[in-house]
Amino acid sequence: MRGLLLVLSLAALPWTARADPPAAAAPPVTAAAPPEESPFKLSLPTEADRALWRKPGLRLMLGIAYGQLRGLGGVPSGRLLGAIVRIGTRLDQDWSILTSFQYASASARGGLSGLRFAGTLDPTWHVTEHLDLAIGFGFAGIVEGRTGRADPDPTQRSSLNNSYTLIDASPALPSCSGVGVTGLFRASYLTALGPVSSTGLSAEVLGQWTGCVDTLGRVEPDTAEPITRRQFWPHVGGTLAWMIAWR
C-alpha cells in the first residue's frame, strides 16, 4: 500500500521537458566600409568650361615675369624680375583688347640698378583654343638711384649753366630717370582650370627707347630751372611669365 502511495505522489509532481540550450546567435552581417573619400574632389575642365572662355567679357590676368633688358651701343643692361597686370575684354571668339602694366626691378653688376615700368595696349589674336598672339605699343621708363657707374664727364656737374643733351648713348650717364616708347610681341599658352580661371605661360620680346635725365643738383641762373643732362637709351629684351587669368 505504501508503495502504491509513493508511485501516485511521484506521478502528481509537475514534470517539464528539458529544453536544449539555444544555439549561439550568428554574428550580424555588416557591409564592407567604403574607402575613405578625400574632402577635395578634382575635376578636369569640361568642354562647357572651355566654351565659356571663348565668349565675350571682361578678363583679368596677374603674373610673375623674369627676363633680360639688353642695352644697345654701350647702354647698361640688366635682369628683370617683377609683376604683370593685364586687364581688358574679349571681343569675340578671335580677338581681345588688353592693357598691360609691368613693374620690374632691373639689376646687374655695373649695369642697370633701379625700376623698369611699362604700359601697353595689346590687340590679341586667339589663334587656337590655347594659343594667343599679341602686338603691343605704349610707354616705358626707367628709374635709377645710386648705381656706382662712372660719370662720363664729371666736370659738367659744375661747369654747365644750362641743360645739355648728349648726342651718343655711350658712355652712359651715371643715373637715368626717364620715360620713352616701347613695343612688344607676345605669345601666350593658357589652359582653362574651370569656368572662371585659367593659367599658363607667356613669352614676350620687346624694344624700348628711353629719354634719360640726370639731374645735376643746380638750377639755371636765368630761369631757375633744374640743370639736367639728357641721353637716349635703346634697349631690346625679353621676358617669360607665368600667368593666372579670371573671367
Nearest residue to 102 via CA among 124, 87, 91, 90: 87
**In this prediction, what percent of the chain has a pLDDT beyond 70?**
82
Domain ranges of the chain: 46-246
**What CATH fold (topology level) applies to the domain 46-246?**
Porin (2.40.160)
Tell me if 241 sits within 8 A of 65, measured CB to CB.
yes
Residue 20 vs residue 172, higher pLDDT: 172
Q: Is the pLDDT of residue 158 over 60?
A: yes
pLDDT digits (tens, 9 = 90+) for 168-187: 888 888 889 999 999 999 99
pLDDT bin (cut points 50, 70, 90) of residue 25 is: low
- One-letter amino acid at 232 equals F
Query: pTM (2 decimals)?
Result: 0.77
Kindly tell me the sign of the dihedral angle through the C-alpha atoms of 163, 168, 171, 176.
Answer: positive
Burial 172-204 (b: 16+ CB within 10 A, else e): bbbbbbbbbbbebebebebebbeeeebebebeb
Give the phi and the psi of residue 9 in degrees, each rounded to 5: -65, -45
pLDDT digits (tens, 9 = 90+) for 224-237: 888 889 999 999 99
CA dist., res. 143 & res. 177, Å (int): 4
Give the phi and the psi of residue 52 in degrees, each rounded to 5: -65, -35
Q: What is the pLDDT of residue 16?
A: 46
pLDDT bin (cut points 50, 70, 90) of residue 135 is: very high
1: helix, strand or coil: coil
